[in-house]
Amino acid sequence: MLEIFGTIGGNALGLPGLLGVALGMMTRHIWLAALMGGLVGIVETFLFAGWQFANLEMLELVVAIVVGVLAGCVGCVIRLKGASV
Amino acid sequence: MADRPDNRGMIRRFWDWFWGPTAVLSVGFTLIAGFLAGIFFWGGFHWSVELTNTEEFCVSCHTMETNLGEYRETIHYNNHSGVRAICSDCHVPHEWSHKIKAKIMAVKDVYHEMVGTINTPEKYEEHRLQMASAVWRKMKASDSRECRNCHNFDYMDFTLQEVRAASEHQRAIDSDMTCIDCHQGIAHRLPPSYLEEYEKVLEALSMTPSSRRLAAADHEATQFYLRSRSE
């Protein structure tokens, strides 16, 4: 359980969380925001795995994608609520 | 039109103010202020995280006294070169996301300090194998990532090492072994039957039988050699 919490926290304060929100704030289409967040999650996990499938951990990949998707959606909601353009 | 009294609650008024457009601030002012606030808060956060990496912070808990005493007798604390590896150098990853993960997982240490899981020497010995096993598992899974922040096969000059050390390091490279396969107990005392526990760690990580065999091959002789060198 701690392992999962730690992975979620690391991703929320890492690229998927921060860049996911930032990218989400750039669009009013929630599906696009979620897609961009998810992509950041995939890229980040591969980046830390040295671009090698063998080093990839499925739990980390799944958590990074989920956190990225959620962060993207949060960013999009901020855009919808906080901007008129 | 007469002004109507504002019946909104404090939270609702704050919420409306927060999401309302700025009437007196330019875009430039808002961006610069946001940028500076970002630097300030991120810098403060990073600084606070780094404070938790200091040796003083790590050993501020009563339960860490045993580990500290053992570590102070090792080469990582006192050596001819004057380079010291403190707790965080071996136990906290450098990469950001791994570091945050380690910090969140370290919450369990605070819990066990509070409930006194290892607050007596007897309790400490009772849990020593379990604690060591958790660290070995982490190190084996990460290919001894924290060791490799300082030690790297690529930078080793085997001609400057003792014959036994050079040959073992060459074997480690050839067999795709990692630092912790041989260097258990490098900073803390080894628990009894540690080798059997290490085998279980390898099994849990689904290591192939051949790599398990290689990791365990000649293990006791290697440990004896390492201990005799440090004495």
Domain range annotation of chain A: 24-76
* Cβ-based contacts of B137 with chain A (< 8 Å): none
Determine whether the interchain pair A5/B19 forms a contact, defined as Cβ–Cβ distance below 8 Å: no
SS3 call for B69: helix
pLDDT band at B3 (very low <50, low <70, confident <90, very high): low
pLDDT digits (tens, 9 = 90+) for B43-55: 999 999 999 999 9
**Mean per-residue pLDDT, B79-105:** 92
* Chain A positions touching chain B (beta carbons under 8 Å): 2-3, 5-7, 9-11, 13-15, 44, 48, 81-82, 84
Q: Residue B109's closest CA among B98, B119, B120, B96?
A: B119
pLDDT of residue B229: 55
User: What's the pLDDT score for residue B223?
Assistant: 62
pLDDT by residue (tens digit) across B57-70? 999 988 888 889 99
Question: Is the per-residue pLDDT at B166 higher than 50?
Answer: yes
B181 is in an annotated binding site: no
pLDDT at B212 over 60: no
Indicate yes or no: CB of A6 within 8 angstroms of CB of B100.
Answer: yes
Check: CB of residue A46 under 8 Å from CB of residue A18.
no
**Neighbour-count burial for B132-171, b at 16+ CB within 10 Å, e otherwise:** bbebbbbbbebebbbbeeeeeeeeeeeeeeeeebeebbee
| Distance of alpha carbon B194 from alpha carbon A37, whole angstroms | 44
* Residue B203, φ and ψ in degrees, nearest 5: -65, -45
* CA distances to A63, A69, B138, B204 from A11, in Å: 8, 11, 19, 25
The b/e string for A29-63 (b: 16+ C-beta within 10 A; e otherwise) is ebeebbbbbbbbbebbbbebeeeeeeeeeeebbeb
